[in-house]
Amino acid sequence: MRRSSRWITIAFSIVIALGLSAIALAGVSIYQMNASSGSTYLPELDSSFAQNPNSRLPKPSVGDVIGSLTIPKIKKTISIIEGTGSKELKLGVGHYVGSVLPGVSDNSVLAGHRDSVFRNLGDLKIGDLITVRTRYGTFVYEVHKIRIVNANDRTVIVPTTNSVLTLSTCYPFRFIGNAPKRYIIQAGLIIGEPIA
Determine the pLDDT at residue 98.
Answer: 85
Number of domains making up the chain: 1
Q: Which of 113, 128, 157, 164 is flagged as catalytic?
A: 113
Share of the chain above pLDDT 90, in %: 59
- 144 tagged catalytic: no
Domain-embedded: residue 14: no
CATH of the domain at 55: 2.40.260.10
Q: What is the pLDDT of residues 103-145, one digit of tens each?
A: 999 999 999 999 999 999 999 999 999 999 999 999 999 999 9
User: Taking Cα atoms as reference points, which of 21, 46, 41, 191 lies closest to residue 116?
Assistant: 41
Domain of 54, in residue numbers? 37-191
Q: What is the pLDDT of residues 26-76, one digit of tens each?
A: 554 444 444 444 444 444 444 334 444 445 778 899 999 999 999 999 999
User: Taking Cα atoms as reference points, which of 99, 105, 73, 103 lies closest to residue 168?
Assistant: 99
User: Taking Cα atoms as reference points, which of 82, 66, 78, 72 lies closest to residue 142?
Assistant: 72
Domain-embedded: residue 16: no
Q: Which of 110, 121, 130, 170 is flagged as catalytic?
A: 170
10: confidence class by pLDDT, cuts 50, 70, 90 = confident
- 49 tagged catalytic: no
